[in-house]
């Protein structure tokens, strides 16, 4: 079993809809949680960074962390075709530690 | 402000050959990490370099080795290439020791082993 599980999708939504993404993990030692966006043949781009449990909002993006359930989420409001990409969750145990990634969810936003 | 730069962007090798990939970190960063991303999967950690030393290593064989130079740039070397080494190799840079350390990735080197 992988340490971090993520539904591979694809997740197809109409333009303007809310995109809901999530990851589950098994290791309670993870403290720092991130969401990256990756376009085809490009490197991952950091979208959201959260420490421990709670919510964080940045523009159209909201990240949630529930450590008690070992579950993290990313919501994208008012989705645009340019949001079509693969979204990767990542987490680490402490500062300086390696990142452990989920497998990524492919998102398609249709005009 | 230049971000993380990697070279080359694409590379084709045959089994048994050796390859060297290069990375220059984002300005102000001193730590470089390398990740391997197979098609349709998330990146897997290879190793991390800080102060020219390997600080952490993932579950990769000794065929994978690296180096960091005094200017913080880094190389990834892979010997005796296997077909399974075909992947996107990503370099990420960060500032060591920051509590809210954030990794920034380059666009990667796509390695194809034939």
Q: What is the mean pLDDT of residues A89-97?
A: 88
Residue A95 near chain B (CB below 8 Å): yes
As given in the structure block, the two tokens for residue A97 are: 């530690």
Q: Give, in degrees to the nearest 5, the angle at Cα A81 between A78 and A85.
A: 105
Q: How far is CA B112 from the centre of its chain?
A: 15
Task: Test A104 with B42 for CB contact under 8 angstroms.
Answer: yes
Confidence of residue A90 (pLDDT cuts 50, 70, 90): very high
Chains A & B: contacts with CB separation below 8 Å: 64
Q: Give the residue among A41, A35, A45 at the shortest CA–CA distance from A4.
A: A35
Confidence of residue A1 (pLDDT cuts 50, 70, 90): confident
Whether the link from the prior residue into A78 is cis, omega within 30° of 0, is no
Q: Flag whether pLDDT at A53 surpasses 90.
A: no
pLDDT at site B1: 62
Give the whole-number percent of chain B exceeding pLDDT 70: 99
**Is the Cα dihedral A97, A102, A103, A105 positive or negative?**
negative
Helix (H, G, I), strand (E, B) or coil at A35: strand
Task: Test A43 with B41 for CB contact under 8 angstroms.
Answer: no
pLDDT at site A70: 95
Name the residue in chain B with its Cα closest to that of A46: B104
Confidence of residue A2 (pLDDT cuts 50, 70, 90): confident
């Amino acid at each position: 079993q992988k340490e971090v599980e993520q539904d591979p999708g694809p997740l197809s939504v109409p333009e303007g809809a809310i995109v809901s993404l999530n990851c589950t993990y098994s290791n309670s030692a993870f403290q720092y949680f991130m969401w990256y966006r990756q376009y085809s043949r490009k490197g991952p781009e950091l979208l959201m960074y959260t420490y421990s449990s709670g919510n964080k909002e940045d523009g159209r993006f909201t990240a949630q962390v529930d450590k008690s359930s070992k579950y993290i989420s990313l919501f994208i409001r008012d989705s645009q075709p340019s949001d079509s990409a693969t979204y990767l969750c990542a987490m680490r145990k402490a500062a300086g530690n390696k990142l452990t990634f989920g497998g990524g969810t492919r998102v398609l936003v249709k005009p | 402000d230049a971000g993380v730069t990697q070279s080359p962007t694409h590379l084709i090798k045959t089994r048994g050959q050796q390859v060297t990939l290069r990375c220059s970190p984002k300005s102000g960063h001193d730590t470089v990490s390398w990740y391997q991303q197979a098609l349709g999967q998330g990146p897997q950690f290879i190793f991390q370099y800080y102060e020219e030393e390997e600080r952490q290593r993932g579950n990769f064989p000794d065929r994978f080795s690296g180096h960091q130079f005094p200017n913080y740039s880094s190389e990834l070397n892979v010997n005796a290439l296997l077909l399974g080494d075909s992947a996107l190799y990503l370099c990420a840079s960060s500032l060591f020791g920051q509590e809210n350390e954030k990794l920034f990735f380059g666009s990667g080197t796509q390695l194809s082993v034939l």
